[in-house]
Amino acid sequence: MTRTFVKRAVLGMSAVVFASCAQMGSTEQLSAPEEVVMSKLDVNKYPVSKLVCDPMGEPGEDPRSNAGLKAELYWLEAGQANAKSSGDLIARGKKSDRNLFVSVLNTPTRQFDMGFNNDLGEPVKTDAGAMLIERFALRFTSVLRLAPDQEEGLYELALLSDDGATLRLRDGEGVYQSVVDNDGEHGTRFGCSSQVVELKRDTEKLMQVDYYQGPRYHIALIAMMRKVQMNADGTIKRDPSCGKTNNDSWFNTTTLAPKKDYTDLLARGWAPLKKENYALANEALFNPCKEGIDPKLSNIQVGEVFSDGFSVTWETDIPATSQLVISGGDLTQSMMTTSDNVLRRRHTVIVNGLSSGTTYDVKAHSISDTYGKTLSDSIQVRTAD
């Protein structure tokens, strides 16, 4: 059911945004008399209810909005045979509608029994309601480049992973070529590159890293690189740890402290790829997990209540966008209203399309011009009978 609203006068920097929960994206805004200032970024592209930041537990700050990696999440549906590799699971699995972003691939061997949370703190689950702690895959995409303090030259790449992982780089013909194949079900294993990569100051190579988490309970994924080292006869020196597999060799899985095998890698010139080695591909547009100036929300109040919806108002200390996150009641997952991307200090969002006589959990959400994000505490709102 869609309610028709009567437009009303709006003063100052406030505005009314209409949102239909039946569509969750149909919006209309009554403009304030002052100049409308739009957000430079579309805050609807990556809703927080479907956003997962640094899911493998290695957060990092980078002021550039195009830094990091974007990831797709895949899982097997009920009744499907288990996969044994990232390629198999991605080919047969279901792709999640979540947006995942990470700063770096630098997760030491550790326990993984809590799954992923979205930006609302809610666990990411399969359609059957299962926590994702095993039998899933991630496909990371980014652009590989030199960090400012790295020299030009020939480099080896490697993946230290539990379970399988592969790394591919796109060639001049647009085809992704395998560089590191460390796929399959195994404990923490150091997989080395099958070819060297020439990196110059202006080199940018599209990169794809696939990761497979098999049986519970450990995960590990570290992308590493070093300048090529040569033998006396001019051949490339192969690292003695290539192919070595042992969960207990590399890290203390409780404290994450590195052990001798890992520190020996560092002594032989290997290092995890830095944040500066990654840049988002153009299709990602921007990294919504970047740190900005967070708006402060205050005076959150419930306004009119209807049989199929309600209005909520609040204020922010700096201009920011206006959205509501709605959960509970008869909703099976959190829903988020669509923003008009206008920056304002006083906010009113009216929602309709909900069920009558139903109590919902509601949170106000605002994003500043620098993409600082603030989510309010939950309030309960009951629609009229």
Where along the chain do its domains lie? 15-44+290-382, 48-284
Angstrom distance (rounded) from CA 67 to CA 52: 16
Looking at the domain covering 15-44+290-382, what would its CATH class be? mainly beta
Return the pLDDT at 23. Answer: 41
* Cβ–Cβ < 8 Å for 326, 378: no
Low-confidence ranges of the chain (pLDDT < 70): 1-35, 56-65, 114-116, 118-119, 127-128, 283-285
Cα angle 369, 371, 377 (rounded to 5 degrees) comes to 110
Using one digit for the tens of pLDDT, what is the confidence trace for 42-69?
Answer: 888 888 877 887 776 554 444 345 778 9
* Residue position matching structure tokens 């290997």: 270
Please indicate, yes or no, whether the overall pTM of this predicted structure exceeds 0.75.
no
Angstrom distance (rounded) from CA 42 to CA 335: 18
Instruction: Please provide the average confidence, as pLDDT, over all residues in the chain.
Output: 84
Provide the b/e sequence for 350-379 (b: ≥16 CB within 10 Å).
Answer: bbbbbeeebebebbbbbbbbbbbbbbbeee
Residue 229 phi/psi, 5-degree rounding, is -110, 135
Return the pLDDT at 374. Answer: 93
Return the pLDDT at 16. Answer: 52
Instruction: Give the domain 48-284 fold.
Output: Jelly Rolls (2.60.120)
Task: Reduce the DSSP state of residue 286 to 3 states and report it.
Answer: coil
Angstrom distance (rounded) from CA 66 to CA 260: 35
* Cβ–Cβ < 8 Å for 103, 67: yes
Return the pLDDT at 45. Answer: 84
Return the pLDDT at 212. Answer: 93
Using one digit for the tens of pLDDT, what is the confidence trace for 61-113?
Answer: 443 457 789 999 998 887 888 888 999 999 999 998 888 888 889 989 888 87
Q: Is the dihedral of CA 76, 81, 85, 90 positive or negative?
A: negative
Closest CA to 29 of 38, 40, 18, 14: 18
Return the pLDDT at 132. Answer: 80
Angstrom distance (rounded) from CA 212 to CA 75: 10
Return the pLDDT at 366. Answer: 95
Return the pLDDT at 6. Answer: 31
